[in-house]
Structure 1
Amino acid sequence: MSNATLPRLAITAGEPAGIGPELLIRLAATPLAANFVAIADRHLLQRAADRCGLPVELIDDDSKPVRTRRPGELRIHHLPLDAQEVPGQPDPCNARHVLATLAEAADGCMEGRYAAVVTAPLQKSSINEAGIRFSGHTEFFAERAHAEVVMMLASPELRVALATTHLPLSAVPAAVTRATLERVLRIVHRELQAKFGFAEPRIGVLGLNPHAGEGGHLGREEIDTIVPLLDTLRAEGMQLVGPLPADTAFVPAQRERYDAVLAMYHDQALPVLKSEAFDRTVNLTLGLPFIRTSVDHGTALDLAGTGRGDPSSLIAAARMALDLIQRARGARGDQ
């Protein structure tokens, strides 16, 4: 980084009984040039380090600038568990602890105490079983920041944003409205400029139906909703390609035409992304007033406690956060 002070990355451990704490320890063991601040229970992380067989130096965070960090050095914002974790067995008693870690990360970013937040996976069902309505990181951060957001998953080769996220497939057509698509496309366009440095972003937009509706024979959403909106936004100067048939949108010759793709629903595009770059794919929340990246996988309860979890996705998320911080600093002219 060009700045002598290492950027402070808030790292949340996610589900205490999942793979997140062990991945966080493995991230801390890397030589990445960042001041990692784990928002977690200190004893949880020490137990995770012991299971991984890795030496770790847990330091109480004092918010002071840091210019160097040794591998294994990890600052801690201690938030105690309500019940000691049993790897592989999520306990709803810890639901409020998990949410408290997310609240501290979001508030800290908005107050300038952290440069970005990187999140390990959590177990949504465990939080819901505690009687707390919760649908995911993305929605939590959006509500906390009072922001309209879009989920994007990105690998070094491909960026995919989602018009709808965690909905049953039967509910998707009604959710793909002109207002929703316009909101999402404007956020994606703005964030591709601000966060990724594309002066004139090119966005490929998938159709909802097979063959993008095939002229109305396989559905009218493209004719009635998607095409009229794309025409309106093109008239404003946006570079939008589509609506594209999803089955051919990701072939190499097509992908050269756009900088990101907007998919209409969760599983329309993400299998392509994850099948070719699962360990290098990062989940980003666009539209927040701060940088948030995450792993692209779940809690891996079957691996929790073994010390054998692959940290590649969490490391990729941290690297992307650092890249976005550096780009933002460059845009501001920071030294």
Structure 2
Amino acid sequence: MKPVTLAVTCGDPEGIGPEVAAKALGALLPRDDVEFLLLGPHSLWGEALTRWAPRVRLLADRSPGDPGHPPDGVTLLVPEGRGPERGGTSGGRIAMRALDAGIVLAQAGIARGIVTAPLAKDRLPERDDAPGRWHGQTEILASRCNADPLMAFWTGSLLVGVATDHIPLRDVPRSVTAARVEGCLRLLAAAL
């Protein structure tokens, strides 16, 4: 059976993103049912895996979907291009390039999903489609994919959709409307 391919972003290289992702990969691997594509600079992933997941092999000479995927290896893809230049920090711009690369891979059908490593939202570059800064990776994904975001928690036996996000508790009663709940239910049903 061909493994499921998941793209993993590096998050903010100056924050905990690479550490969290590397530790998760170290705990998950080896496995032959998933191929992980690491998105970000070679030096960043090499250092993170050496430090926090030394059993994991970094494969820089593979392409996604190449036959013979080793269960203890991860494929490295370094996003090309300069990426966004307005605002943010260099780490924020690196994180944004990795996320954009993951979106391209998912939209092309190469990756079945994107795992986003943590980043500091104030380090993200300015929006390219509207004034101001991005509020987070969910907002970027929604914009790039022209989709409605829905935060969800999924276990083997339970799927929970969150009807609100990133708002003060006092605003919840005004935000939880019949239309909003219906939209969440439709998205959850479509995901099943």
Question: TM-score band, normalised by the shorter chain?
Answer: 0.7 to 0.9
- What SS class does the counterpart of residue 60 from structure 2 fall into? strand
**CA distance, structure 2, for counterparts of residue 9 and residue 187 of structure 1:** 21
1:283-294 superposed matches below 5 A: none
1:156 offset after TM fit, Å? 4.4
1:126 alignment counterpart: 123
2:35 alignment counterpart: 35
Name stretches of at least 5 consecutive residues in structure 2 with no aligned partner. 83-87
Computing the radius of gyration from Cα coordinates, the structure with the larger value is 1
1:111 alignment counterpart: 108
For residues 297-327 of structure 1, give each alpha carbon's deviation from its aligned partner in whole angstroms, at most 9, with x where no partner exists: xxxxxxxxxxxxxxxxxxxxxxxxxxxxxxx
Conservation of the 8 A alpha-carbon contact between 2:22 and 2:53? no
Q: Is the aligned partner of 1:95 residue 2:92?
A: yes
2:135 alignment counterpart: 135
1:59 alignment counterpart: 60
1:135-174 superposed matches below 5 A: 135-156=135-156, 158-174=158-174
Name stretches of at least 5 consecutive residues in structure 1 with no aligned partner. 83-90, 195-335
Cα distance change on mapping 1:113 and 1:155 into 2, 3 Å? closer
Conservation of the 8 A alpha-carbon contact between 1:22 and 1:45? no
18, 21, 24: which is aligned to 2:21? 24
- What SS class does the counterpart of residue 59 from structure 2 fall into? strand
Cα distance change on mapping 1:128 and 1:176 into 2, 3 Å? farther
The code of the aligned residue for 2:145 comes to A
Cα distance change on mapping 1:126 and 1:156 into 2, 3 Å? same
CA RMSD of aligned residues (A): 2.8
Cα distance change on mapping 1:158 and 1:41 into 2, 3 Å? same
- What SS class does the counterpart of residue 124 from structure 2 fall into? helix
**CA distance, structure 1, for counterparts of residue 103 and residue 141 of structure 2:** 7
The code of the aligned residue for 1:145 comes to C
The code of the aligned residue for 2:66 comes to P
Cα distance change on mapping 1:52 and 1:169 into 2, 3 Å? same
Q: Percent identity?
A: 28
1:53 offset after TM fit, Å? 6.6
Conservation of the 8 A alpha-carbon contact between 1:6 and 1:67? no
The code of the aligned residue for 1:31 comes to P
1:182 alignment counterpart: 182
2:85 alignment counterpart: none
Conservation of the 8 A alpha-carbon contact between 1:18 and 1:122? yes
TM-score, normalised with respect to structure 1: 0.48
1:1-335 superposed matches below 5 A: 3=1, 5-29=2-26, 30-33=29-32, 34-52=34-52, 54-55=54-55, 56-71=57-72, 73-79=73-79, 92-127=89-124, 133-156=133-156, 158-191=158-191, 194=192
1:270 alignment counterpart: none
Cα distance change on mapping 1:67 and 1:14 into 2, 3 Å? same
Conservation of the 8 A alpha-carbon contact between 1:10 and 1:117? yes
For residues 124-171 of structure 1, give each alpha carbon's deviation from its aligned partner in whole angstroms, at most 9, with x where no partner exists: 122269996112222211111111231112344543211111111232
For residues 51-87 of structure 1, give each alpha carbon's deviation from its aligned partner in whole angstroms, at most 9, with x where no partner exists: 237153332442343343141x22111138x9xxxxx
Conservation of the 8 A alpha-carbon contact between 1:37 and 1:61? no
Cα distance change on mapping 1:107 and 1:79 into 2, 3 Å? closer
Cα distance change on mapping 1:44 and 1:173 into 2, 3 Å? same
Give the paired residue count.
180
TM-score, normalised with respect to structure 2: 0.79
